[in-house]
Amino acid sequence: SNQAAWRKANLACKIAIDNSEKDQLLQGRDSLRQRKTTKESLAESASNITESLMGISRMMSQQVQQSEETVQTLANSSRTILEANEEFKSMSGTIQLGRKLITKYNRRELTDKLLIFLALALFLATVLYILKKRLFPFL
């Protein structure tokens, strides 16, 4: 939009100059008063064009400042994302370690249940053997 405004201002300036030259050629050498009026109108149009260019310069400055703020915001966002990524990587290792420990705990729990069951079965077999020998010695 700044470039379009710049082009419009340049085009307006060229048109004003062309019109001025055209009028001068068509009118020929008239009085000093017409030259003075033409010079005044040229000065006024030059002043208007200068003001337009100053406005365009201010708009461009604002755009540059806004772009700088946007770049700063993007840099901050990128830094935050990188920090989150590093934290995720460290947590990933911790989660994998926790998964391994839980799996190991579940295996030991199964092994302990199996050993307790076997010990209970051996105990009951021993108790039954002793009862059989004491109560029924003839069998």
For 16, residues 6+ apart whose C-beta sits below 8 A from its C-beta are 42, 45, 49
Residues 2-57 have pLDDT tens digits of 778 788 888 888 888 888 877 777 665 555 556 666 778 888 888 888 998 899 99
DSSP state letter for 137? T
Residues 90-106 have pLDDT tens digits of 898 889 999 999 999 99
- Sketch the domain layout of the chain as residue ranges: 2-135
